[in-house]
Amino acid sequence: MLDAAPYYCSAFGIKILSDLDLGAIPAGEPPEVIFRVGTVPSALEQPLFSGVLFQARPGSFLLKLDNIGRYLVTGGNQIDIEPAVSAHAATVRLFLLGSPLAALLYQRDLLPLHASAVLTPKGAVILAGASGSGKSTLAAALHLRGYPVLSDEICAVTVGESFSVLPAFPSLMLWEDAVEALDLTGQQLKRVRPGIQKFSLPLRDSFYRTPAPIHRIYVIESSFHADLDVTPLTGLFKIRALANAGYHPNIARSMNLRERYFAQMTALGATVSAALLSRPERVSPSQVADLLEKDFAA
């Protein structure tokens, strides 16, 4: 197969035919979802929600980014992309693989978490948390200790008879300070966007390509207190922490999927073990990884 458009590939267990190179693992036909470069309207008709950057209604999500592009996600099986004239291909892809991709996952009844995930002997360990909480850095630290990576940034979970993490993309995204802290400077890093000090680390064989049942979810919280610690989450605290761990839950709400989102989170919380990981800013990634390794093996 030629390494040229269109690309037959797979992410989150979904076969995709894409005009853009997504950096996903190759897959065969027939595609379930099409990513097509073409024209995208500047507004939705009768949106249920209209925000600063996006509009939505059931089954449709439109993201508009000045000088980058417009993205229209429809029916759980198509994303139309209209790059801005001056936009760099990496930039168009970076934003495609954020909210539009999450909108597609929501449309397909999957539960996208704002999280990274690695595989341990006990099952998938999910590292959830807000931007800047250190999810990817921690996933990279665990990757360097030999744990295969399942996903980074968006972690799609199946909710039903089993709760599993679906494998995403064979790369991790790291800011420059994390690259230095993890001593990855010599690695083959690709800048995710011109002008941004954030890099993509290819995973190759250490990317795990099969869905994996969830062992535990850690919700990472930066703490202004002194101690690094892990506390099991139970009851209402667990539901609340998980409800905040979705990937921009406003996307689900704007498509009228709020009730399903909470039903899925509640089902997840009822079945899967979860813990709060409080970390002070000054603690190194390897100290956090030490604690986690002990905790998820116990």
Q: Which residues are at the interface with another protein (CB under 8 A)?
A: 51-54, 63, 65-67, 94-95, 98-99, 130-132, 153, 175-178, 180, 192-193, 195-198, 222, 224-226, 248, 250-251, 254, 281-282
Q: Residue 250 is inside which H or E element, if any?
A: helix 249-254
Q: 49 or 237: whose CB is closer to another protein? A: 49
Q: 162 or 197: whose CB is closer to another protein? A: 197
Give min distance, CB of 66 to another protein, in A: 7
The one-letter amino acid at 194:
P
CB of 152 closer than 8 Å to CB of 172: yes
Give min distance, CB of 190 to another protein, in A: 14
Token pair 């966007």 in the structure block, residue: 193
Q: 31 or 134: whose CB is closer to another protein? A: 134
Q: 31 or 83: whose CB is closer to another protein? A: 83
Distance CA 137, CA 288 (A): 10
SS3 category, 124: strand
Q: 226 or 298: whose CB is closer to another protein? A: 226
Give min distance, CB of 288 to another protein, in A: 16
Give min distance, CB of 182 to another protein, in A: 13
Phi, psi (rounded to 5 degrees) for 22: -90, -5
Give min distance, CB of 243 to another protein, in A: 13
Structure tokens belonging to residue 74: 């429809």
DSSP assignment string, 219-240: EEEEESSS--EEEE--HHHHHH
